[in-house]
Amino acid sequence: MAETVAIILAAGGSTRMNTQLAKVLHEVCGRPMLAYVLDACRKVGIKRICVIVGFGAEQVQAQFANAEGIVWVRQDQQLGTGHAVACCKEYLKDFDGQVLVLCGDGPLIRSHTLKALLEKHETGQSAATLATAVLDDPTGYGRIVRDAYGNMQGIVEDSDCTPEQRAIKEINPSNYLFNCEILFEALERVQPDNVKKEYYLTDAVSGIIATGHKVEAITAVPPDEAVGINSRAQLSAASKIMQQRIQRRLMEDGVTIVDPDNTWIDARAQIGQDTVIEPFTYIHGEVTIGRSCRVGPFAHLRHGTVLENDVVLGVFTEVKNSILSDGVRARHHSYLGDATVGQNVNIGAGSITANFDGENVNRTRIGDNCYIGSGAVLIAPLDLKDGSNVGAGTVVSQDSANELGGKAKVDVVQ
């Protein structure tokens, strides 16, 4: 198979999103939408990915500064998707392979679908192959126009459609494979003669057909992968689809999610077998949960949380940047922030780590087998030795813990 370079279009601002942030940085289940498109390319073995940036370019590049294999290409003026691809001409001038073009605002595309597209392009020996989708409501998307024999004739943008064309349900999700040389030749001929006065990539497809090259369109994109994000409403619709995928994967891995519609789990979260997630649990950021834990209802787990195995977190328990070892229990109304909690520790109702002193965030260490009674305030920095016993309602500082030899039986109510 010829080498494939990917081009991801991510330079457009977004009037419809009404945002200051580059559109591709808006998050879907905790990750910027561009991250998913990059993942899909990498999963099909693509090593070189050109990302076209313009609006908010610095923000985008800064956020993906550590990502591998990205070639950043600037499009200073957003003159359309065809113009955006043409910005790679210089970089690809000696490249004689094929080019996969995707949109940064289409994070739901799966590698499985891209693989089918790559295979079809290879076997069909076409100049271009498009993966299309059939939607009940095609509003807003470019429509695929075919002749009476089913051969593809071109793509017409929603704003340029005749009423008959508008009724077509087969749409362009913007997942294309092109022969590189033929693509750039066709782009030279594209004119901005449309309602938006933009240079459309879709017109390059019609141009390739017009010059007698073979172009194939395969209906390979399931509707739930075709959603392009142009508005906040589409962002939330895409997030919902992604959330269902995340939860389905976790359930296949042996996690019980009692009420999927009332649970939100970040794409980066990892959860072990036989853990039960109760309703109204919200997990945001890189969070790792081990085996046979019970989380929720109404638990809030934030970035940097690690629960080892058999941990129980109950109602209104918030955990941030903390490690909770095997068998820790915090069943009611607690906040554990920047804490390392040893094995089999019981955290009583309403107890918290006071981790912020107004200037610095400090850590709390609680040794193995400690018992923290209800309503305790643990003032960080604090190091409680194994087996410490903190009475209900106690405010514990390092000094008060030390007075009792570090292994505190601190039961003074202050």
The reply on whether position 4 binds ligand UD1 by CB under 6 A is no
Instruction: Please answer whether residues 306 and 322 qualify as being in contact, where contact means their C-beta atoms are separated by less than 8 angstroms.
Output: yes
Q: Does 11 bind ligand UD1 (CB under 6 A)?
A: yes
With CB under 6 A as the contact rule, which of the stretches 99-107, 246-254, 286-294, 298-306 interacts with ligand UD1? 99-107
- Greatest CA separation found in the chain? 89
Q: Pick the piece of the chain touching ligand UD1 (CB under 6 A) from 10-18, 210-218, 290-298, 373-381.
A: 10-18
**194 near Ca ion, rule: CB under 5 A:** no
Is 296 near Ca ion (CB under 5 A)? no
Closest residue by Cα to residue 372 from 338, 399, 332, 404? 332
Q: Is 78 in the site for Ca ion (CB under 5 A)?
A: no
Residue 336 CB contacts under 8 Å (≥ 6 apart), including other chains: 317, 318, 319, 320, 322, 324, 330, 347, 352, 353, 364
Which position's Cβ is nearest Ca ion?
Answer: 228
Q: Any catalytic annotation for residue 332?
A: yes
Q: Rule CB under 5 A: is residue 105 a binding residue for Ca ion?
A: yes
State how far the Cα of 317 lies from the Cα of 293, in Å rounded to an integer: 14
CA 383 remoteness from chain centre: 37
Closest CB to ligand UD1 among 16 and 214?
16
User: Dihedrals φ, ψ of 242, to 5°?
Assistant: -65, -40
Closest CA to 141 of 130, 150, 151, 127: 130
Secondary structure class of 47 (helix, strand, coil): coil
As measured in angstroms, the least distance from the Cβ of 200 to ligand UD1 is: 4
Residue number with CB closer to ligand UD1 (81 or 388): 81
From the CB of 162, what's the least distance to ligand UD1, in Å? Answer: 16
User: Of all helices (H) and strands (E), which one includes residue 155?
Assistant: strand 152-156
Shortest Cβ distance from residue 173 to ligand UD1 (Å)? 5
Q: Among Ca ion, ligand UD1, none, what binds residue 348 when CB lies within 5 to 8 Å by partner kind?
A: none
Least distance (Å) from ligand UD1 to the CB of residue 249? 25
Of 61 and 340, the one with the shorter C-beta distance to ligand UD1 is 61
Q: Which of 169-177, 210-218, 307-315, 337-345 is the region at the interface with ligand UD1 (rule: CB under 6 A)?
A: 169-177
CB-count burial class (<10 Å; 0-12, 13-18, 19+) for 402: exposed
Q: Establish if 110 lies at the interface with ligand UD1 (CB under 6 A).
A: no
- How many helices (H) and strands (E) the chain has is answered by 9, 35
Interacting residues with ligand UD1 between 374 and 413 (CB under 6 A)? none
Site for ligand UD1 in 211-240 (CB under 6 A): 228, 230
- SS3 assignment, position 396: strand
Q: How many CB atoms lie within 10 A of CB 15?
A: 9
Stretch that binds ligand UD1, among 168-176, 295-303, 364-372, 377-385 (CB under 6 A): 168-176
> Does residue number 230 form part of the binding site for Ca ion (CB under 5 A)?
yes
Q: Can residue 397 be called a binding residue for Ca ion (CB under 5 A)?
A: no
Quick check: helix, strand or coil at residue 236?
Answer: helix
Name the nearest CA neighbour of 313 among 355, 271, 285: 271
Which of 57, 70, 75, 376 lies at the binding interface for ligand UD1 (CB under 6 A)? Answer: 75
* 345 close to 366: Cβ distance less than 8 angstroms: yes
Give the active site residues: 332
Where does this chain bind ligand UD1 (CB under 6 A)?
A: 9-12, 23, 52, 75, 78-81, 83-84, 103-106, 141-142, 155, 157, 171-174, 200-202, 228, 230
Where does this chain bind Ca ion (CB under 5 A)?
A: 105, 228, 230
